[in-house]
Amino acid sequence: MEEMKKGLEGVVALDTKISYIDGIQGILKYRGIKIEDLADLSYDAVSYLLINGKIPGEAELSEYSRMLKENRRINGKQIEVLKEFEFGTEALDGLRTAISCTAHFDEENNHHTPDANKNKSIRLVAKFPTIVAALHRASFGEKPIEPMDNLSHGANFLYMLSGKIPTELEAEAMEKDLILSAEHELNPSTFALRIAASTLSDLYSAVICGLCTLKGPLHGGARKGVMDMLDEIGSIENVRDYTLGKLENKEKIMGFGHRVYKTLDPRARIYKDVARALAEENGDTYWFDMAEEIEHILYHEFIEIRGKPIYPNVDFYSAVVYKYLDIPAELATSIFAMGRVSGWIAHCMEQYSDNRVIRPRAHTV
């Protein structure tokens, strides 16, 4: 048998047309297009690109957006069921249960044709934000807010969360957040989902598999970890002691390091610009300054200790963006999933279209 690679590090498991990462030069492309060139599009356009493999024309985009808007609403019974559970601070548990519940209300749940999968993919992308917002409001006894059809995917989510129409910059920030979170090759949740899809399990089941894997603090859960860390540090004066203390105790600092990127993750650079712009609009750079100080100290400390720097990953400045958007930390992983669902669906479709059951071997010791 081949040599075992712990964590499958460096192992190539499959071919994909969906995304490309160059971890040395810090390049990320969705369907051959650099992330920097996609970040200013709408989430609808990027979601279409990921799932259908091409940038939509004007008419295609307008029809796709119309279908997403038409499918935003969720079954009232579903919210009633979900209110019975107390998900506490683990919003992702609520989302996972809600997606399972959505599958039960979807007549095509166990239909496995390309058309049924296309219909389900629109329902999934469209309903994720409504579910996340409704569950959050239900957790403190508030009624869900109906989606507003003239708002973009991201802006409508912010509106359904708070009942306030976001500013132009806030709406843009939310759209960018969903775009930057939408896809990242064979990260742990996508790999888990492709394994489920490779057994020809249905689209909802595969997405739930992705959600369960995204939850972990070393993957999507790190975003909440960064928000909690910023709260714990509390002020810029405490940054040095806090970060050095963590390093001394050999504890991981959330939002830093990456298995693939050995330089700055290109998404982190875009998130940093968004966080700075929001800080300036808010007239309050408190969170941004604290984050920049953590980045600065870690960069230099790592060079000192290990002879090479460590860089922020996608979760670091996104957490700062959420602070300025007034998003509670417990929603951070669910919102990540709201963006990622398009990439997950694209990977499911790719797996179904040229399938072989994913079944590696273990080295028995």
The first and second tokens of residue 336, run together, are: 């990540």
Give least dist CB 252 to ligand ACO, A. 4
Position among 144, 154, 210, 255 found at the interface with ligand ACO (CB under 6 A): 255
For position 339 contacting ligand ACO by CB under 6 A, the verdict is no
Q: Is 112 a catalytic residue?
A: no
Spatial distance between the Cα atoms of 129 and 228, rounded to a whole number of angstroms = 23
Classify residue 314 by burial, with Cβ atoms within 10 Å: 0-12, 13-18, 19+: buried
- Residue 26 interacts with ligand ACO (CB under 6 A)? no
CA distances from 115 to 66, 112, 120, 121, 133 (A): 18, 8, 9, 10, 28
Does residue 158 interact with ligand ACO by CB under 6 A? no
259 counts as binding ligand ACO under rule CB under 6 A:
yes
The burial class, CB within 10 Å (0-12 / 13-18 / 19+), for 55 is middle
The answer to the question of residue 118 lying near ligand ACO (CB under 6 A) is no
Kindly name the residue from 44, 258, 265, 347 that is annotated as catalytic.
258
The verdict on 314 binding ligand ACO (CB under 6 A) reads: yes
252 binds ligand ACO (CB under 6 A): yes
Selection from 262, 259, 253, 232 nearest residue 295 by Cα: 253
Which CB atom, from 4 or from 218, has the smaller least distance to ligand ACO? 218
Active site residue 258: yes
Verify binding: residue 254, ligand ACO, rule CB under 6 A.
yes
Residues 216 to 245 in contact with ligand ACO, rule: CB under 6 A: 218-220, 222
Per-residue tokens: 165: 């129409």
Letters for 170-189 (x = contact with ligand ACO by CB under 6 A, - = none) are -----------------x--
**Token duo for residue 162:** 């708070």
Residues 6+ apart with CB under 8 A from 20: 27, 28, 29, 32, 185
Catalytic residues: 258, 315
